[in-house]
Structure 1
């Protein structure tokens, strides 16, 4: 007998309280029967089940099931570029660390996922559980499909071009002559709507140059706004665009740190020279009684 995955998940992580009330009446009847039969076998929480399953030849599945009693929701994420990858974890930092390491070794990936979301155990909206299926297609390639507890499909095909190209000679952005960081942010977002990757990378390079020649503070603030604000990135994949924005910001801040380190080093060197000049000579060290 092939029992639906939804019912198996319900037997492990029963839906309770308000979430149960919000379910359709027919589903409530089924869930109530499952809970009466399996509630004694449901493990005490809080817990987070990550189950790997061989679902058949060429078919692999990972199931992430969150517990109803978890005080902090669990994190799910995916990135789809030349290759697709998905995550379930208890901390977003774990996912970020994996992507940092993976992108350093494999150019098909970058450091930010296309989407992150939290799942709460027993939720009536998605069940608090997600299934990651990797299936082999007729052409021999593999496809990643994500569904929630109720069988609802998770859209893992974000819009936007992710294939980065070399920077152009100029971005052709009309930068405000007397504008502050907010004005430069507005000009960046407006220009971004019609840009390809070559122009976008050049625009970030121009902000970097602005930080060296005009105002480092305004450049940093502009990049922070590009990281934090919600806006359209035009034809570019947003996650990859933010990855490049963060790179530019880190480069500027690293340059500041190196500059401060040189200043401190020079001061220490000057202090050493002064101490040597003020150090008493051998004659000064002699005891007055020696004369």
Structure 2
């Protein structure tokens, strides 16, 4: 990374608390939030060049399904809330509704004995449930957009949209409430009272408004997690724990290698309970490695 490597072999980015419309942190010089993804055409894995010092390990801790959990929180949809509380695979659940797969509710739980077999059997439908419906619909994608992205017909896509909102009716109402509020106030407000001003006369504004409600709460959640992580760092100096990098919904930490297991439950608790008053607990994945790539 020419021009960014300090004398001690470390790269130090600048993080900005402002600068994005959704409230997410921005990063520059260099922007570590836009690391290249693994590409078979490249002769190396870019994330492999970031390595923990001798006697240390890197921890990658990121929120699992954060945006969909926030959707459940914002909409208060009982089906979504129940799914997360019971550990259901939400992408397979949506596919089950959209394509009438006939999977029983309890079989959607990742702990169920039939789950892995069903996930493998309906892998294609689950992929469409995830990338064709769960994420695109909440950000305003139309039947045309879903059809274009997934290869299904526009009529089938529209039927899927109708079934999606029939399955999660409070999501539709939450989107409608957001649009109504924008029409009346020319801005929207997140649960943490962050505002974004938008022109309700522009069609894209209504899509951006609901997107903002989710993205901004996610952004403030990672801030709360970082603040609480600092308390843990100060209380346990023997762990050698420090925050190395923040990448949207992920915190990367450095730690003494012999303290990983002792610190793990504290780190998970900080992330999962960053905002303890929310009606749904977050879930995190935590990886450990010598390099950033192996920790992912």
Structure with the greater alpha carbon radius of gyration: 1
> With structure 1 as the length reference, what TM-score do the two structures score?
0.23
Query: Which has the larger share of strand?
Result: 1
> With structure 2 as the length reference, what TM-score do the two structures score?
0.23
Query: Which has the larger share of helix?
Result: 2
